Amino acid sequence: MSEASAQPAAGPPSAPARTANPAATATAPSQAVPALEAEGLSKSFGAVRALEEANLTVWPGQVLGLVGDNGAGKSTLVKCVSGRLHPDRGTVRVAGEVLRARSPEVARARGIEVVYQNLALVDSLDIATNLFLGREPVLGPRPFSWLGFLRTRQMRQEAARVLREVGVDLRGASVADPVEQLSGGQRQGIAVGRAVVWGQKVVLMDEPSAALGVEQTRHVHDLIRRLRDRGVGVVLISHNMQEVMQVCDHVTVMRAGRTIVTVPVSEVSGEMLVGYITGAIEPRSDG
C-alpha cells in the first residue's frame, strides 16, 4: 500500500481524542466493520486523472475530514462513492458489503447520503418534494387523484416536521414553496437536513458550510455531531482547516488524485495539514 497512515490501517481508530460526547466512542474497536470503505478508486476524464488509487475508510460514528487543494479529486471521490460517477477501477464497500450496482439510488438505499458541492436540489420543485426526492411516501396506486392529494399532504406535514427537527429556518417560506425562492444558505440547510434525516450509514458533505454564515455553520456542525452520536460515519470536505480541526476526529489528505495520508487530528496542526496539501511535507511512508 502506497498510502501512509499514522494509525494502524487494519483496525478501527481508537476513540477519537477530540470528542466531548462519550457516544463518539462508537468508533471503538468493538465495531470492526467500516461504515464505508473505498479501495483503489481511479477515475480519468480524458487525459485528466482525477483519481488515482484513492482509498477512504470511515468507521461508524467517525467524522473524517477530507482535505486537498482545488482539483485534488475530493468531489470526484465522493461522486464515485455515491454512484453519481462510475470509477474506472476500484471497490466500494458499505458496512462490509461490496456496492456493485452503482447509482445514486442504490447508494441511497444502502444508507449513503451526500450533500453535493453544487447543490443537487431541483429549483422548480417545492421544498417538501426536494426533501423527499426519489422516496415520496407511498400510499397506493397513483391513478387515484385523491391518493395523490393525500400523498402530497402527508409529505408536506412530514417535511415541515423534519425541517423543524433539523433546525432549518425557512423564514416565512412554506414547504409548498419552490426551492428557487430560497437563499443559498437556506438551500444548503435543506440539503444538509435531507442528508441528516436519511443518512443511515454514511453522510458525505462536500463543503457544506461554504455558503453559510456563522450561525448556520455552527448548526451544521451540531448536525454532524448528531450523526456521529447516531453511529453514522461522516465525511466532511472542507478548505477551512480550523473547521476540520474542530469538527473531525481524523483527516484524509488528497493530492493530485491520491489519498496520501490519514491522521488523527490530535496528532496534526492546521499548518501540518496545509503542508501535506501543498506537498511541503511528505507523509512518512509505512509501506
Q: What whole-number distance in Å separates Cα of residue 191 and Cα of residue 116?
A: 8
CA triple 22-24-120, angle to 5 deg: 145
Rule CB under 5 A: say whether 186 interacts with Mg ion. no
Rule CB under 5 A: say whether 252 interacts with Mg ion. no
Q: What whole-number distance in Å separates Cα of residue 11 and Cα of residue 189?
A: 34
Q: What whole-number distance in Å separates Cα of residue 146 and Cα of residue 150?
A: 6
Minimal CA–CA distance to 26: which of 36, 12, 37?
A: 12
* Cell numbers linked to 229: 452520536
Nearer to ligand ATP, 45 or 144 (CB): 45
Q: What whole-number distance in Å separates Cα of residue 5 and Cα of residue 286?
A: 7
Kindly state the smallest distance separating residue 209's Cβ from ligand ATP, in Å.
Answer: 14
Q: What whole-number distance in Å separates Cα of residue 169 and Cα of residue 166?
A: 9
Rule CB under 6 A: say whether 70 interacts with ligand ATP. yes
Instruction: Figure out which of the listed residues 11, 29, 71, 96 binds ligand ATP, where binding follows CB under 6 A.
Output: 71
Instruction: Figure out which of the listed residues 5, 75, 252, 262 binds ligand ATP, where binding follows CB under 6 A.
Output: 75
* Cell numbers linked to 194: 435531507
Instruction: Figure out which of the listed residues 31, 117, 152, 200 binds Mg ion, where binding follows CB under 5 A.
Output: 117
Q: Are 60 and 25 in contact (CB under 8 A)?
A: no
Q: Select the binding partner of residue 71 from ligand ATP, Mg ion, none (C-beta < 5 to 8 A, by kind).
A: ligand ATP
Rule CB under 5 A: say whether 240 interacts with Mg ion. no
Minimal CA–CA distance to 102: which of 110, 240, 35?
A: 110
Determine the residue type at 199.
G
Rule CB under 5 A: say whether 209 interacts with Mg ion. no
Instruction: Figure out which of the listed residues 12, 34, 61, 73 binds ligand ATP, where binding follows CB under 6 A.
Output: 73
Nearer to Mg ion, 118 or 124 (CB): 118
Binding part of the chain for ligand ATP, among 74-82, 167-175, 215-223, 269-277 by CB under 6 A, reads: 74-82
Nearer to ligand ATP, 45 or 149 (CB): 45
Q: Are 66 and 235 in contact (CB under 8 A)?
A: yes
Q: Mask of contacts with ligand ATP, 30-69, x by CB under 6 A?
A: ---------------x--x-x-----------------x-
Nearer to ligand ATP, 41 or 50 (CB): 50
Q: DSSP labels for 67-125?
A: E--TTSSHHHHHHHHHTSS--SEEEEEETTEE--S-SHHHHHHTTEEEE-SS----TTS
Kindly state the smallest distance separating residue 202's Cβ from ligand ATP, in Å.
Answer: 18
Q: What whole-number distance in Å separates Cα of residue 246 and Cα of residue 248?
A: 6
Binding part of the chain for Mg ion, among 11-19, 68-76, 137-145, 162-170 by CB under 5 A, reads: 68-76
Nearer to Mg ion, 18 or 239 (CB): 239
Residues that bind ligand ATP (CB under 6 A): 45, 48, 50, 68, 70-76, 117
Residues that bind Mg ion (CB under 5 A): 74-75, 117
